[in-house]
Amino acid sequence: MSRVKVVNEPSELVPLLRAADTEVKRKVLQKVSLEWISADEIKELYGAEGEGALLFFEKIRLVETRWSSADEDQEPKKTYHTYYSSFNITLNTPVIEFSDVLGVAVMGDEEFSKYEKLIFKEVGKEGKFVGDISESLDLTQTMLRSLVKRSTKVEYRGHRVERIK
């Protein structure tokens, strides 16, 4: 089945641009696009970074999962495969917002980690409304959305940002 991901929200570009930003992520993405593969197999081939890539792909819904086993005696394992076969990107956004999106996409890991820690702390255990976080951290909502989309520690739940459990 051929599925197309439609991207019409600028901040959704961030995870797509980060999906293949390292050699390991590219290899994992290629592997899961060719076959169903388990996290254990990915970890064996690409180490902890490969396993982290799978978690990121799952968070951004770039992969689908299913339970399968090689034979009847084995315990079923969660396996991964790419969900989409192509992307359709149509954006109409102010330049200032687009600069926030691109800024987050190309931001170095160290700088991003600082933002991620601030957001994680601000969100707390219960989660927090986007507007409140944006205001308290003095970030535009586009910048905040982009940072959350890139993160593997927090995610959107409606109009709230919550820690990933």
Q: Which amino acid is at 41?
A: E
CA nearest 22: which of 49, 61, 3?
49
3: closest CA among 33, 31, 43?
33
Domains and CATH numbers, the chain: 4-89 (1.10.10.10), 95-163 (1.10.10)
Of 43-47, 64-68, 133-137, 159-163, the one with minimum mean pLDDT is 64-68
Query: For 74-131, how does the pLDDT look when each residue is reduced to its tens digit (9 = 90+)?
Result: 788 899 999 998 889 998 889 989 999 999 999 999 999 999 999 999 999 999 999 9
Asked whether 42 and 24 are in contact (CB, 8 A), the reply is no
- Tell me: the pLDDT tens digits for 26-83? 999 999 999 999 999 999 999 999 999 999 999 999 999 999 876 667 788 899 999 9
User: What are residue 108's phi and psi, to 5 degrees?
Assistant: -65, 155
Q: Which residues contact 20 (CB under 8 A, 6 or more apart)?
A: 26, 29
